[in-house]
């Protein structure tokens, strides 16, 4: 199962299964800004430190699943990277290589 950065926790989110806290738009925008402002890939723990407010782990993983599904981020072995690109060929490539299953 894929991991983010150097941590050992798998990133596997299934929507509708025991989600106790859904993210607000303000939280999603805060995570997007932190990823856009990062110089390169960031681990999940590093991302949590960059955020202005504390975010529950499950909520952050849900946001990352949403952003990855939307094609705005890529989750790789070195961490999470902002990659938003509207090119149709690029979007097809991302669709074939998804890391998080939603």
What does pTM read for this prediction? Answer: 0.68
Return the domain boundaries, the chain: 25-96
Q: Which among 92, 95, 37, 32 is positioned nearest to 64, based on CA atoms?
A: 32
Per-residue pLDDT in tens (0 to 9) along the chain, 102 residues = 344 544 444 445 455 567 777 899 999 999 999 999 998 899 999 999 999 999 999 899 999 999 998 888 989 888 999 987 767 787 677 677 766 554
Which residues are within 8 A (CB) of 99 and not within 5 positions of it... i.e. 6 or more apart? 2, 11, 68, 74, 75, 76
Q: Which architecture, in CATH terms, is 25-96?
A: Orthogonal Bundle (1.10)
As a whole number of angstroms, the distance between CA 26 and CA 31 comes to 9
């Amino acid at each position: 199962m894929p991991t983010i950065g150097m941590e050992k926790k798998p990133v596997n989110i299934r929507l509708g299964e025991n989600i106790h806290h859904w993210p607000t738009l303000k939280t999603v925008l805060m995570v997007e800004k932190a990823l856009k402002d990062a110089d390169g890939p960031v681990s999940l723990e590093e991302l949590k430190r960059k955020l202005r407010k504390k975010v529950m782990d499950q909520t952050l993983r849900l946001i990352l699943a949403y952003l990855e599904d939307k094609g705005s981020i890529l989750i790789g072995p070195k961490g999470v990277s902002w990659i938003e690109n509207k090119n149709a060929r690029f979007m097809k490539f991302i669709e074939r290589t998804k890391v998080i299953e939603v």
